[in-house]
Structure 1
Amino acid sequence: MLAAARHTAILDAVQREGVVKVADLAQRLGVSAVTIRRDIDALSDAGLLTRVHGGVMVPGEGGTHEPGFALKSTQHLEAKEAIALEAAALVTEDMAVGVTAGSTTWVLAKALAAGPRITVLTNSVRVMEAFSTSTSGSTVLLTGGQRTPSDALVGPLATASIRRLHLDLLFLGVHGMDENAGFTTPNLLEAEANQAFAAAARRVVVVADHSKWGVQGIGSICGLEEADCLVTDSGLPRAAISHLRDRIPSVRVAGASAA
């Protein structure tokens, strides 16, 4: 494949998915990672994309860029479904479970709706709707608040509602996870709501696919070591998995033989 064709394919992938890893691009295009990095250098120098740790993203998507739910819900769907099945196995009947807003937690909510009877606290209308066809008898409590582009309900009303309750388990969706920044979001009010969720829970389980690695939002939710468990997918590089296992007590890789 000629360089011009690779450049077009790379830009198409970035526009479609938001963030793409070097390894994924090399596999898709059938070339070496070194070749892809040269292509990325050329495209970055031209201002057509932005480098992130291990990959590339749409230019201008800085720490406050907040993709809409409609776009995020179509990205990395296979990985999110695998994560959802792995994470849902952590839930048992009569648990009080927090589920934050996000496309991965929305997929997880659909899996939880088919599981045991639980009580769910969420700040996501999408998550609440996922339980609308559930026959398990689960109860869903929705916070109020101001709606963000990612369909999270945030602000003082949401945060106050969360702080009043006590959760057995929290499923935390994140915009990015980074070895230095920890788990982050591009919305400061959403960061505040998620911090309240984490403080209210006995156990915090982060659900995040491989595309979140190396991505930073402006708002910090918590450090890597503050999560009790991370459920991710096999697209995450081995070096990243090793680093995360050094910081988080349990890292479960969906689809892998060992967690």
Structure 2
Amino acid sequence: MASDAPDRLSRQARQNRIIDHLTREGSASAAELVELTGRSLMTIHRDIDELAAKGFIRKFHGGVSALPTSVFESSAEFRRTRNPAAKSALAKTASELIEPGMSVMVDDSTTCLALAPFLAEIGPLTVLTNFRQLGEELRLSESIHLIMIGGTYSRSHDSYIGPPDITGLGSYSVDIVFQSTSTMNASWTFHQEQDVVSMKRVMLSAGARRILMMDSSKVGKSSLHRYVEVSEFTDLVVTDDVEKGFIDDVDETVAVHLARV
């Protein structure tokens, strides 16, 4: 078994291996992580506590997980690794709704993060977002006038979240808003966390056109908090592997655009 001598680089590599394993498998016991890394149970418990404190993983009785539940959202770092092909397809289809010169607001979902390369190509655009990573992707683009929306920084979401009087969201009116959320059915959208719900609602109200981007893994499910009715959106961009019955139901309240996966 490898030595447990403190070493920042080896600890980082070990924790990355743990996150990668949970990304693939969803969950694991501490004993499985000991076998995976070749380190002691005490070291693994320290790693688990540190990663949980950062919001990258979640502890439960008997193990750890990086998967979301109906109550807790998984971290942005984990969510970025999920369903990349579907996110790319959604972004390509959604980007066709944008025209140069528009003002565009984008939430802190990793689904909408996939819009970044398309936004840079379509410009000039004014882009408003609370997602730090999206700001990083666009900050050097000369065709983008970037406005970062403030608030309290959330490590697990890698974004800034706060009420309208702190964020200044109530003062904006934009051409188009892009959002995704945790789950939806044909009538309602849902999210696990109330503070995120409150932020998303204010962002949504700023848009003349309001676009919801969802892959099939989020459809036909619910989470702890109701967000808004599907009819609050003007458009739904959804992957084409969603059941036809759902499309028929939701098509009565919102314009549906199918993204080919």
Q: TM-score, normalised by structure 2?
A: 0.71
Q: SS of the residue aligned with 2:184?
A: strand
Return the match for 1:214 from 208, 214, 220: 220
Return the match for 1:234 from 236, 240, 260: 240
Return the match for 1:83 from 65, 82, 90: 90
Distance 1:16 1:157 in 2: 38
Return the match for 2:211 from 205, 209, 218: 205
Distance 2:185 2:25 in 1: 19
Q: How far apart are 1:60 and its partner, in Å? A: 9.1
1:152 touches 1:190 (CA, 8 Å); kept in 2? no
Show the counterpart of 1:130.
137
Show the counterpart of 1:165.
172
Read off the aligned partner of 2:113 and give its amino acid letter. Answer: W
Runs of 4+ that moved beyond 6 A: none
Distance 1:158 1:69 in 2: 25
Read off the aligned partner of 1:216 and give its amino acid letter. Answer: S
2:71 matches 1:64? yes
Matched residues, number: 204
Q: SS of the residue aligned with 1:179?
A: coil
2:253 matches 1:244? no
Percent same amino acid among aligned pairs?
23
Distance 1:236 1:209 in 2: 8
Q: SS of the residue aligned with 2:168?
A: helix
Change in 2 beyond 3 A, CA 1:208/1:200: same
Q: SS of the residue aligned with 1:232?
A: strand
Show the counterpart of 2:198.
192
Pairwise mapping of residues 73-152 of structure 1 onto structure 2 (< 5 A)?
Answer: 73-136=80-143, 138-148=144-154, 149-152=156-159
Q: TM-score, normalised by structure 1?
A: 0.71
1:129-172, Cα deviation, whole Å (9 max, x unpaired): 12134242x11111111233222321226764111111110001
Read off the aligned partner of 1:16 and give its amino acid letter. Answer: R
Distance 2:252 2:113 in 1: 28
CA RMSD of aligned residues (A): 2.6
Which one is further off, 234-243 or 118-127? 234-243
2:216 matches 1:176? no
Show the counterpart of 1:16.
24
Distance 1:17 1:142 in 2: 35
1:208-239, Cα deviation, whole Å (9 max, x unpaired): 11111123222332101111001111121111
Change in 2 beyond 3 A, CA 1:65/1:252: same
Unaligned runs of 5+ in 2: 1-21, 27-61
Q: How far apart are 1:67 and its partner, in Å? A: 0.6
Show the counterpart of 1:255.
260
Unaligned runs of 5+ in 1: 1-13, 19-47, 49-57
Q: SS of the residue aligned with 2:139?
A: coil
Q: How far apart are 1:108 and its partner, in Å? A: 1.1
Q: How far apart are 1:121 and its partner, in Å? A: 1.1
